[in-house]
Amino acid sequence: MKKIILLILFAVSLFANEKVTLQLKWLHQFQFAGYYAALEKGYYDEVGLDVQIKERDISKDAKNERGKHL
């Protein structure tokens, strides 16, 4: 059983720290508190995600910004 757990942990570490950008639909405010709490508590790190949270830039059209960084 210990070998299986170690194997799973090793496999997960191979995919660790995938960079992800979370684009908010508006400016930083309370409705997005869950995202920030998860970031601060390290929940994203636990599943191998390096999350950057970006607020909306109201000077740009959000529809045109989607997918530019793919």
**Cα 1 from Cα 7, distance rounded (Å):** 10
Structural domain boundaries in the chain: 17-65
The model's pTM? 0.60
Please state the three-class secondary structure of 5-36 as a single string: HHHHHHHHHHCCCEEEEEECCCCCCHHHHHHH
pLDDT in tens, 8-58: 666 666 655 788 898 888 887 888 999 999 999 999 888 888 999 998 877
- The pLDDT score that the predictor gives to residue 5 is 67
Greater model confidence, 58 or 70: 58
- The pLDDT score that the predictor gives to residue 48 is 85
Is pLDDT at 1 greater than 60 in this prediction?
Answer: yes
